[in-house]
Structures are given as structure tokens and as C-alpha cells.
């Protein structure tokens, strides 16, 4: 069926959760496929050897009920209300790990977790599941990190939009353990590209695109493609040259250039091509049209897999608020507005973590530290400080930041999509979320709430704008697109999210390696997890999975947490698994290599 086939658009990061064929899961540390259940291990390689798929052994919750190993969730602690440190004996017999931080047979376990986002709270929950309490230190006054739900005047909105979609079985079970029944809804997905007043299917479908462009422009696009075949761009090492060579300059300008440039903040001529090359592979316009007319076996099935996703009734933050409640009910402490400022080290271990709340410093004794704070900041907090070359690597990690301008508009001004990509070069916004389509419980009756997304650098002109000016900008832009009359906007809110995206430049891998190796050798019981915690483009599921494996390591396992491969799972365009080579599975990267940032900027 022609309409099912699509050609890939490589430039839509920020919402790239999609199944890739039938191969599943985060790359397991043991190299097995995360979805292959033949081994009966439940996909996630649980440390206690239980099958996380069965449900019965995971009906436990950390709120004091039975934990997977058959013990009581509060067992071993000397108080279920979080006042006392753990003196658990649980797990001691499993503490024979090679991990530098595993619980030794005589150790009490004082785990300090930095950050109450998905990774930090998952770690706390997984510890509670094993009857261990911990202290979570969160610098903000709200849990969920980037996956929070912001509430203003009764309106709720995400940072971007957070689909709950995973191939990691243990993560899926975790979500269903935290939220049950209609608290965790299955939602239909619809997202299109809005361009020059028209909606285009997303992922792009060549026939739909050419039809929407009209006969004259379609002929021009095909001619431009033919021209590019005869006169290929001389420099195809750039994103621009590479895509233009395969789709022609006109299609590049229409569908590849502007959104990519908005998201990453650089011209397509300065982005490296390998990211596009990995995703588009050997596709070009001719093959895309042929695929559309004669879809290959498997294409339809794969496409329908992304037609729905799970979503908490009151937004993603609900998952993390509930998780936090359960963790606290199990005796752990979650301290808000507690910014970690110092990791005190002695004899190659983090022995205490200092947090600052309203100017007051508190020291938390630690036998193990799990950190989801940005890796660069973590390393800078280590005391005594690392050598200059390590600090230089930390200083050379950068981020891309994010602003949501949420506008309340009449319901009639909404659209049926969960979100639309905005390719028009005349506006700065990159995407518009329609929060009521994510969950009707996010909005009030009679109105829609649209989240205009802007990709920025912290401290740049937009970031520094006053909220009122940003709301005015949002109104002007949505009016310019012809979507909503600015006069009809009833209210506007601004949410800034620093460090929304770890920044991949030519040196980031080397820098991350430097920090990781230094920490492994010098502070062996300090475990980076999560997205910014590992400076990886992890979505919630892989952020959580790194936390799960880390807890297992602390309990005695020896997983290589860094081998959890985020990227292979996150190609928005789908391909049957059997069409991907093993090399391709390993080499995917969810973001392009960007030009170096000026150090003085961040």
C-alpha cells in the first residue's frame, strides 16, 4: 500500500522514539538482544536471577510489600520511615562483585543518589525493591528532571512531549508497576510536518509530499534531483551536501534544512554527514518513490508499531511523582532543593556528598554514589579535584537547551496531531505540542494548550528574553503560520530547560572517555547514570536501564553500564531488522556531530 511507505527524515531529534524493525531492546551488556526472551531472563538480565517478565515476582513494591527476592521491602532497615540508615543484611551474600563499589560483607549500604529524574528515582526504587534505603538529592523543587510535568494555573505541560515507549522489558514492567489501569493510558500517535500552510505526513512519504507541493514544484523537485545526480555537490561530507546529492537541492531546502538547523543551531553545511548517512543509508528519491509504490514486506507492520504510545494520565511527571512517593514510603529520603556541590573523596572512594539547600550545607555519608547530574559538573564537584586534563575534558562538554512557550488557545484552534514539526524558515519555533492530544487531563475543558518548542543555547538572546516577550514572540509566530489568531491566545507560560540535549561535537566521545576512565580508577564507587549523567542521548528508558544495571552492580553484578546503547533504538524511520547489518546496529548515533562550541559561551 503506497501510503505506508516512507522515506526517512534524519533531522527530527527530540522525539525519535520508534521501534526499529523487530530487533529490540537496549544492547544488553551481555550482548544479547533485549527483546529475545528465549533465555527466560525477562529481557533485562536481572541480578537476582528472577524473571522480570512473570509479574508475580515483581508485584512487589518498595512501599514495604514483598520484594522480588522474597523479603519484605523494609526488611533490614531499622525503620521504614526513612529516619535511619540501612543496616540491611539483604544482599550481603551477593556482594562478591568485581565492581569497585559492591557492598562488601561488612559494609552498611549508604547509597546517595544525585538527581530525582527518571534515572535517579529508578535507582532509588530498585534499591527499595531489594530492601535498601537511600538518600536522593535533587536540586530542583520538582521531580522528574527533563521528564517532569510542569503545572501552571491548572494547565499541565511536558518539556517537549514524552512518549513512553521501550523495547526494554524491565523498563516497561517498571512503568506498569508504578502506574496501573487507566493511570497509564495507551494513546494514538499522530504527528505531521506543517510547512507553507499545509500538513505533510511524518515520516515523510514521497507521494504525499510531492502531491502537497503541487505539480509545478513537484516537477522542479524531480528536476532538481536529476540535476544533483548529474552534478553532485562536490562536498558530501556535510549534511547539506550529502542529502542534496540524494534528494536534490529543492527537497533538501523544503524538508531537511530548516528543522535540522533550528534544532542544532548550525547551518547544514557545518553539520557532518555521517549521522544522516547512517540513517538514510543508500536511499535516494528514486528508491523512496519506488518503495512507496511497491512497499517491501514488513514495512506496514513496522510503521503501525509507532502509531501509539503509553502516557501517564497527568503527564510524564506523574510517573516520577508516584515513584518518588513509593520510594519515600519504603524509607528512603528524597531531599528537594538540595544541590550537590561537593563529592568528598578519600582512598579512591566517595565517602560523603555535600548538598546545599538555601545556603546550608549538609553532608551525607556514602558507601556508593549514583549520579544523574551532568557528567561535567559531577567531575568538577569531586574533591580533591581531578588533574587539569580531566577538568579540561569536563569543561569541553556542552549542551543544547530548550524553551517551551505554552499558549492557551480556544479548542477549535487545536489540531488532531499530538505534535507538528514546523519547517517554515520564517519562524524560530521547531515543533508545536498539542498537550490535550497527549492526554485530555492535561488541559481544561473548552481550551487547547499548545507548546511551542524552541531549541536554544543557554544564555543566548532568546534564553535571556523576558517571559512576557517570549509569550509575545510565540503569539506572533503562531499567527504568522496561520494556525491561531494571536488575539485568541488566552494565556501564555514559559518553561526553560537547561541542558536538554547533550551536545555531540568532534571531541565529545574522547572527553566522555577521559572522565569515565578517571572516575573508574579514582572514585570507583561513584556511578554516572542517565542522560546528562553519561552525556548520552538517552531517552527515559535507557536512562532508567543504566540506573537498573548500576543498582545490580552495587548489589554484586558486574555489568558494563556504558555498553547500553541508546542510539540503535532511536531511529524515527523504521527498517526491518533483517535489513540491518550488525555494524549498523552498533554504530547508530542519535545526533549529528556539531561544530565545536566556543568555551567562553558555556
Ligand X SMILES: Cc1cc2nc3c(=O)[nH]c(=O)nc-3n(C[C@H](O)[C@H](O)[C@H](O)COP(=O)(O)OP(=O)(O)OC[C@H]3O[C@@H](n4cnc5c(N)ncnc54)[C@H](O)[C@@H]3O)c2cc1C
CA distances from 227 to 221, 232, 247, 252 (A): 10, 8, 10, 13
> For the window 102-121, what string marks contact with ligand X as x by the rule CB under 6 A?
------------xxxxxxx-
Smallest gap from residue 548 Cβ to ligand X (A): 12
Smallest gap from residue 17 Cβ to ligand X (A): 5
CA-CA distance, 434 to 418, in Å (whole number)? 5
Binds ligand X (CB under 6 A): choice among 530, 556, 588, 592: 530
Region near ligand X per CB under 6 A, out of 60-68, 154-162, 220-228, 478-486: 154-162
Smallest gap from residue 404 Cβ to ligand X (A): 8
Site membership for ligand X, residue 549 (CB under 6 A): no
Region near ligand X per CB under 6 A, out of 59-67, 69-77, 160-168, 294-302: 160-168
Smallest gap from residue 138 Cβ to ligand X (A): 5
Nearest one of 414, 367, 404, 401 to 109, comparing CA atoms? 367
Nearest one of 122, 49, 111, 91 to 555, comparing CA atoms? 91
b/e 559-569 (16+ beta carbons within 10 angstroms → b) = bebbebbbbbb
Complex with ligand X: residue 406 or 500, whichever CB lies closer: 500
Q: How many CA atoms lie within 13 A of 461 on its CB side?
A: 3
Q: Strands 198-201 and 191-195, how do they pair?
A: antiparallel
CA-CA distance, 489 to 477, in Å (whole number)? 12
Site membership for ligand X, residue 94 (CB under 6 A): no
Residue that the C-alpha cell 577521559 belongs to:
514
Complex with ligand X: residue 41 or 370, whichever CB lies closer: 370
Complex with ligand X: residue 247 or 537, whichever CB lies closer: 537
> For the window 338-357, what string marks contact with ligand X as x by the rule CB under 6 A?
-xx-----------------
Site membership for ligand X, residue 262 (CB under 6 A): no
> Angle of helix 388-395 relative to helix 508-522, nearest 10 degrees?
140
Smallest gap from residue 528 Cβ to ligand X (A): 10
Region near ligand X per CB under 6 A, out of 52-60, 407-415, 462-470, 537-545: 537-545
Site membership for ligand X, residue 528 (CB under 6 A): no
Binds ligand X (CB under 6 A): choice among 15, 112, 443, 481: 15
Q: Are 507 and 348 in contact (CB under 8 A)?
A: no
Which alpha helices (DSSP H) does 382-466 contain, by range?
A: 388-395, 435-438, 461-464
Complex with ligand X: residue 102 or 159, whichever CB lies closer: 159
Q: Strands 360-365 and 431-434, how do they pair?
A: unpaired
Which residues inside 201-220 make contact with ligand X, applying CB under 6 A? none
How many residues sit in the footprint of ligand X (CB under 6 A)? 39
CA-CA distance, 40 to 45, in Å (whole number)? 9
CA-CA distance, 349 to 524, in Å (whole number)? 6
Q: Are 200 and 218 in contact (CB under 8 A)?
A: no
Binds ligand X (CB under 6 A): choice among 130, 132, 262, 402: 402
Region near ligand X per CB under 6 A, out of 13-21, 69-77, 226-234, 293-301: 13-21
Q: Which residues bind ligand X (CB under 6 A)?
A: 14-15, 17, 114-120, 137-140, 145-147, 159-163, 339-340, 372-373, 377, 402, 500-501, 530-533, 538-541, 543
Amino acid at each position: 500500500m503506497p501510503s505506508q511507505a516512507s522515506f526517512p527524515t534524519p533531522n527530527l531529534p527530540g522525539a525519535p522514539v520508534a521501534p526499529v524493525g523487530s530487533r529490540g531492546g537496549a544492547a544488553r551488556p551481555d550482548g544479547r538482544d533485549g527483546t529475545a526472551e528465549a533465555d527466560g531472563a525477562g529481557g533485562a538480565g536481572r541480578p537476582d536471577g528472577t524473571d522480570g517478565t512473570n509479574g508475580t515476582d515483581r508485584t512487589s513494591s518498595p512501599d514495604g510489600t514483598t520484594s522480588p527476592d522474597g523479603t519484605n521491602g523494609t526488611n533490614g532497615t531499622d525503620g521504614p520511615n526513612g529516619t535511619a540508615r540501612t543496616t540491611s543484611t539483604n544482599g550481603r551474600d551477593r556482594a562478591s562483585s568485581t565492581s569497585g563499589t559492591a557492598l562488601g560483607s561488612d559494609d552498611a549500604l549508604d547509597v546517595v543518589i544525585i538527581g530525582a529524574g527518571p534515572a535517579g528515582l529508578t535507582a532509588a526504587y530498585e534499591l527499595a525493591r531489594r530492601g535498601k534505603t537511600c538518600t536522593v538529592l535533587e536540586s530542583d523543587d520538582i521531580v522528574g528532571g527533563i521528564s517532569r510535568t510542569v503545572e501552571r494555573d491548572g494547565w499541565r505541560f511536558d518539556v517537549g512531549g514524552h512518549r513512553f515507549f521501550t523495547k526494554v522489558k524491565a523498563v516497561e514492567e517498571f512503568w506498569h508497576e508504578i502506574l496501573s489501569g487507566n493511570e497509564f493510558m495507551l494513546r494514538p500517535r499522530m504527528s505531521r510536518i506543517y510547512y507553507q500552510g499545509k500538513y505533510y505526513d511524518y515520516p515523510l512519504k514521497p507521494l504525499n509530499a510531492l502531491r502537497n507541493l503541487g505539480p509545478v514544484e513537484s516537477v522542479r523537485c524531480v528536476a532538481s534531483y536529476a540535476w544533483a545526480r548529474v552534478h553532485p555537490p562536490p562536498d558530501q561530507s556535510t549534511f547539506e551536501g550529502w542529502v542534496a546529492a540524494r534528494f536534490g537541492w529543492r527537497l533538501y531546502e523544503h524538508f531537511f534544512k530548516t528543522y535540522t538547523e533550528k534544532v542544532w543551531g548550525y547551518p547544514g553545511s557545518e553539520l557532518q554527514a555521517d549521522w544522516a548517512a547512517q540513517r538514510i543509508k543508500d536511499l535516494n528519491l528514486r528508491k523512496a518513490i519506488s518503495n512507496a509504490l511497491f512497499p517491501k514486506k514488513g514495512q506496514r507492520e513496522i510503521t503501525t508499531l509507532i502509531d501509539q504510545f503509553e502516557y501517564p494520565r497527568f503527564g510524564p511527571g506523574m510517573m516520577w511523582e508516584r515513584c518518588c512517593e513509593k520510594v519515600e514510603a519504603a524509607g528512603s529520603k528524597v531531599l528537594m532543593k538540595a544541590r550537590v556541590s561537593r563529592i568528598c573523596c578519600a582512598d579512591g572512594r566517595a565517602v560523603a556528598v555535600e548538598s546545599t539547600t538555601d545556603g546550608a550545607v549538609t553532608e551525607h555519608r556514602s558507601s556508593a554514589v549514583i549520579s544523574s547530574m551532568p557528567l561535567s559538573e559531577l567531575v568538577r564537584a569531586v574533591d580533591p579535584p581531578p588533574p587539569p586534563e580531566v577538568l579540561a575534558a569536563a569543561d569541553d562538554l556542552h549542551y543544547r537547551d530548550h524553551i517551551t512557550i505554552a499558549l492557551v488557545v480556544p479548542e477549535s484552534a487545536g489540531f488532531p496531531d499530538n505534535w507538528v514539526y514546523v519547517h517554515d524558515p520564517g519562524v524560530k519555533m521547531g515543533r508545536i505540542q498539542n498537550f490535550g492530544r497527549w492526554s485530555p487531563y492535561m488541559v481544561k475543558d473548552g481550551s487547547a494548550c499548545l507548546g511551542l518548542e524552541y531549541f536554544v543555547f543557554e544564555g543566548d538572546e532568546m534564553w535571556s528574553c523576558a517571559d512576557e516577550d517570549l509569550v509575545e514572540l510565540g503569539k506572533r509566530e503562531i499567527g504568522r503560520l496561520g494556525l491561531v489568531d494571536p488575539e485568541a491566545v488566552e494565556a501564555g507560560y514559559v518553561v526553560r530547560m537547561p541542558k536538554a540535549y547533550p551536545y555531540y561535537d568532534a571531541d565529545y566521545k574522547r572527553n566522555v572517555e577521559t572522565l569515565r576512565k578517571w572516575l573508574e580508577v579514582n572514585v570507583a564507587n561513584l556511578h554516572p547514570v542517565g542522560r546528562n549523567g553519561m552525556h548520552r542521548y538517552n531517552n527515559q528508558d535507557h536512562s532508567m536501564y543504566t540506573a537498573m544495571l548500576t543498582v545490580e552492580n552495587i548489589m554484586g553484578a558486574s555489568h558494563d553500564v556504558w555498553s547500553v546503547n541508546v542510539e540503535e533504538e532511536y531511529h524515527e524511520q523504521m527498517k526491518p531488522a533483517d535489513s540491518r547489518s550488525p555494524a549498523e546496529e552498533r554504530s547508530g548515533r542519535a545526533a549529528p556531530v556539531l561544530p565545536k562550541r566556543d568555551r567562553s559561551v558555556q
